[in-house]
Structure 1
Amino acid sequence: MADTTEERPGLTAAPVMRKASWRHIGPGIVVAATGVGAGDLVATLIAGSKFGYTLLWAAVVGCLVKISLAEAAGRWHLATGRTLFDGWRSLGRWTTVYFIGYVIVWGFVYGAAAMSSSALPLGALFPDAMDLKWWGILCGLVGLVFVWFNRYAVFEKVMTVLVGVMFVVTVYLAVRVAPNLGDAFAGLAPVLPDGSLVYTLGLIGGVGGTITLAAYGYWVNAKGWKDAGWMKVMRLDNRVAYLTTGIFVVAMLFVGAELLHSSGIAITKGDKGLLDLGTILEDRYGAATAKLFLIGFFATSFTSLIGVWHGVSLLFADFVAHYRPSLAPAGTPRDKSPAFRAYLLWLTFPPIALLFLDQPFGLVIVYGVIGAFFMPFLALTLVWLLNSSRTPREWRNGLLSNGMLGVAGLLFVVLCVQQVRELPW
């Protein structure tokens, strides 16, 4: 095993317990913003358009599930001084085989999807400037240069600013559509209207749920939180982040319920559904509101792009550190290592080809199958790691953590089966 002392604090002395403070907040905002993409917001809009406020409770439960998953990942890093990949590796070689297959195929297809999603609002804001493909390439290259040359502190600040833009835009839209608060509060009662099961599972499992949840512990370490003394700070950071995510989700559900459900308007599935919403907002509230929304759409998409460029590259660099230490040498910051930069290039340049071609049918199937299995893999391996002797006894799972992670694991297994069934076999 390679030496990963850069990632491991000294664990011989009892860590100094630091008080939870708002001024330390950062990694949670990064992971939450990265996990919420344009497609997630469209799914929330469609749920609101079909069922009004009825599924609001599912959005709240979804945020609680993500809090539990991210907290578990952060707790593993701080309590053990080991990275999450190091933990997976201790469970057997099968985890390494799965991980490397996942990040290679997923990264290839996700790179094109992220660039396309970021290009859509820019193409709508500047319709005569250039073709969407070139907007997408520009976004990918800007993300590459930004992550390549900046350290974590700058990355976090830029992500926080973009999250601020997302927050202002979504809350403004929610207020503008004048939500019915009585119906909204009634939506906190857990009910399942006919035909709502798939949408309910999607709201609970989809928003903010990606491989970037696994990156949370790496961002915690990059922030300088290296031992269990930071546990209270990490937990506050995580809760604030997913409370913010919850506000995004509730705001978009309000927009879907008031603007689309009441009018019987349907929007396109996928990222292009947000362009449909932009057109509806322009007709109803004017061009200024539509442009503001497109700016928020871009912030949502671009935070996901640069978040994945940074976070998943850290995961890949940690993998390489265990098998090819020369490509991730001890003493070199992970986000400056050759392995980190190699994965950045993989996320950027090969996917550009997919912007000019229809995605190959076989690749779409492989991507869908591997991607569907990642969240159950994350939830269930965290249960395994945090209930074993690999974790110091005082930081192992309690009943609440086991319950939440167990529910998350079962939920993601159901979602996995559903997603595999819907693939274009």
Structure 2
Amino acid sequence: MARSHTLPRNDSPARGFSLKGLLALLGPGIIAVLSWLGAGDLITSSVAGSNYGYAMMWVLAVSLLLRFLIVNIIARFQLCNNQGMSILEGYAQLHPLFAWFMFGYALLMGHLMNAYMIKGAGEALATLLHINQPLLCSFAVVLAVWLLVGRNVYSLIEGVMKLLLAIMTLAFLSLAIMSKPDVGSIVAGTVGFSIPADEGVHGALLVAVSIIGAVAGSIANFVHPYVMREKGWTGPEHKRLQRNDLLFAVIVGIVINLAIWIVGAEILRPNGLEVNTLNDLAAALEIYFGQFGWFLFFIGVFATLFASIAGKTTAFPRLITDAFQRIRPARRERYGKVFHADPLHKWFTLFILVTPLVWSLPGMPDFVTLTLAVNALNIVGLPIISLGLLIMSNQKSLLGNYRNNWFENLALGAATILAVWVAFTLATDLFA
């Protein structure tokens, strides 16, 4: 869970290089990477690589570019608008329906995103413990998150989880380098702009939409402004620092996603392995590192999922409470700007954490299918999010000279059109 940090009163650069000082400045970016890098990236990139090689690498490139643009515009609006509005206040002042949409969408996607993560964490823990009780393990994960989040001991546990995540990431990076990837094929796939014929259980279009949803359309992109505010970045003077910090986060995301994709394309695909379960992805590390690689993967996956569940259980109720207080302004006047003070915040937290357990019951979709489907569903909200952002980030009365440039407007317009087209095509494909 993110901790509050306070900027020094003097925001000028330090005279000497300090690693501690650098890490202090990069807080929101590091938190963004940990928030974004979850099962969605792990599954979508590995499935795309193992099933389709590098043919859809362009989808990842476009999605990461859109993520940077969308999150940067969101952050800039919050930092530079002359009314001190949060991003949700910006949406709400356009039309009350935007507040209703963000409330319902955050509630739904918070539930569904935690659903596949809790299911995956339960499966990973059951595998590590060598017990065939994934549902029981999912219950244990939910209980642990509820008991630990927000308490002093959680900072230590969170640090351990981040360390394990870093070790697993290094393992994937090592595998990607050892596999000697075909750079020419990566470049060709990045500029190819084509959807290949379906291979395996998961269709190419579903995988492509899942990548776009997991990266560019994720409602988790709205968590970044809340982390910025906790950091103390609240005005235009922090705009450059915020942009460089976000650029750092996206570059790290590119490296990690590319490494996972390469592992799928260069190790899983040649060995005829499709990613239908977590064990299939663990096989990549097992091929090169033996039993230790298998163990490292499941430890890393569990750490990634546990940290993501805790992060989303902390962040989503803030977003939901904020949206609801835009619908019911009297609650903000009654309880103030501290979200925890609103009694509904606790109930939103319970909803986000407990109700997803239903997806871990026997007979529900498997972990990989659920992950792909939920991330594909993100595409439904992208047109409304990008269209609203396009309008409010061009409001001269609020932003003055901090409005969008022509490229940002073009990109947001293209994202809206792309999302509508993809959602329509996917619906047509599913109901044909």
TM-score range, shorter chain: 0.7 to 0.9
Encode CA deviations 1:111-147: one digit per residue, 9 max, x unaligned: 332211222222222113x611121122222223333
Structure 2 distance, partners of 1:138, 1:202, is 28
User: Do structure 1's residue 276 and structure 2's residue 280 form an aligned pair?
Assistant: yes
Structure 1 equivalent of residue 298 of structure 2: 294
- In 2, Cα distance between the equivalents of 1:314 and 1:405? 26
Give 3-state SS (helix, strand or coil) of 2:259's partner: helix
Give me the TM-score of the superposition, normalised by structure 1: 0.82
2:352 alignment partner in structure 1 = 347
What is the aligned-residue RMSD (CA, Å)? Answer: 3.5
Once residues 297 and 30 of structure 2 are traced to their aligned partners in structure 1, the CA distance between those partners, rounded to angstroms, is 21
Structure 1 residues 424 and 185: CA distance shift in structure 2, 3 A: closer
Instruction: Supply the distance in 2 between the matched residues of 1:134 and 1:120 (Cα, whole angstroms).
Output: 10
Query: How many angstroms does 1:238 deviate by?
Result: 0.8
1:250 Cα offset (Å) = 0.5
Q: Deviations over 1:89-126 (max 9, x none)?
A: 11112112222322333334433322112222222221
Q: Aligned pair 1:395/2:399, yes or no?
A: no
Aligned partner letter, 1:220: M
Mean CA deviation greater in 92-101 or 192-201: 192-201
Residue 63 of structure 1 pairs with residue 71 of structure 2: no
- 1:220-239 to 2 correspondences below 5 Å: 220-239=228-247
Match of 1:144 among 137, 143, 146: 146
Task: Identify unmatched segments of 5+ residues in structure 2.
Answer: 1-8, 15-20, 199-203
Give identity over the alignment, percent: 25
Separation in structure 2 between the aligned mates of residue 111 and residue 56 of structure 1, nearest angstrom: 27
Query: Within 1, Cα distance between the matches of 2:336 and 2:157?
Result: 21
Counterpart residue type for residue 392 of structure 1? L
What per-residue deviation string (whole Å, max 9, x for no partner) do you get for residues 298-337 of structure 1? Answer: 2332333122212211111212333265578555633565
Report what 2:269 is aligned to: 261
Match of 1:304 among 299, 308, 317: 308
1:411 equivalent among 410, 418, 422: 418
Question: Aligned ranges for residues 44-123 of structure 1 at < 5 Å?
Answer: 44-80=45-81, 81-123=84-126
Q: Could you tell which deviates more after superposition, 202-211 or 44-53?
A: 202-211
Q: 1:34 to 1:64 in 2, by over 3 A?
A: same
Cα distance in 2 for residues equivalent to 1:250 and 1:240: 15
- C-alpha distance in structure 2 between counterparts of 1:57 and 1:406, whole Å: 19
Structure-2 change in CA distance of 1:83 and 1:145 (3 Å): farther
Per-residue CA deviation, residues 193-236 of structure 1 (Å, 9 max, x unaligned), is 64387255544453364111122111111221111111111111
Aligned partner of 2:260 in structure 1 is 252
Deviations, residues 164-210 of structure 1 (Å, cap 9, x unaligned): 34532321332343433454455444353643872555444533641
Asked whether the equivalents of residues 153 and 223 of structure 1 are also in contact (C-alpha less than 8 Å), the reply is: no
Structure-2 residue corresponding to 1:179? 181
Deviation at 1:240, TM superposition (A): 0.8
Question: Which one-letter code corresponds to 1:135 in the other structure?
Answer: C
Contact 1:372 1:416 in 2 (8 A): yes
Secondary structure of the corresponding residue to residue 239 of structure 1: helix
Distance 1:217 1:75 in 2: 9
1:280 deviation in Å?
5.0
- 1:408 counterpart SS class: helix
Relative to structure 2, which stretch is displaced further, 148-157 or 198-207? 148-157
Segment drifting more, 397-406 vs 96-105? 96-105
Match of 1:317 among 321, 328, 334: 321
Worse-superposed segment, 329-338 or 306-315: 329-338
Change (3 A) 1:151 1:333: farther
Q: Does the CA-based 8 Å contact 1:102-1:371 persist in structure 2?
A: no
- 238-247 or 256-265: which moved more? 256-265
Q: Retained in 2: the 8 A contact 1:162–1:303?
A: no
Q: 8 Å contact 1:87–1:385 — kept in the other structure?
A: yes
> Matches of 1:94 and 1:149 in 2, distance apart?
36
The answer to whether the 8 A contact 1:321-1:328 is kept is no
TM-score, normalized by length of structure 2?
A: 0.80
SS, match of residue 344 in structure 2? helix
SS of equivalent residue, structure 1 residue 392: helix
Choose 145-154 or 258-267, whichever is displaced more. Answer: 145-154
Task: Please list, as runs of the form range in 1=range in 2, the aligned pairs for 1:370-381 lying within 5 A after superposition.
Answer: 371-381=378-388
Q: Could you tell me how far apart the structure 1 residues matched to 2:69 and 2:339 are?
A: 26
* Paired residues of 2:218 and 2:375 also in contact (CA < 8 A): no
1:26 offset after TM fit, Å?
2.0
Aligned to 2:43: 42
SS in 2 for 1:286: helix
Tell which deviates more after alignment, 299-308 or 90-99.
299-308
Q: Distance in 2 between matches of 1:155 and 1:86?
A: 34
Cα deviation, residue 372, structure 1: 3.8
Please report how far the alpha carbon of residue 245 of structure 1 lies from its aligned counterpart in structure 2 after TM superposition.
1.0
What are structure 1's unaligned runs of at least 5 residues? 1-14
CA-CA distance at 1:252 after TM superposition: 1.0
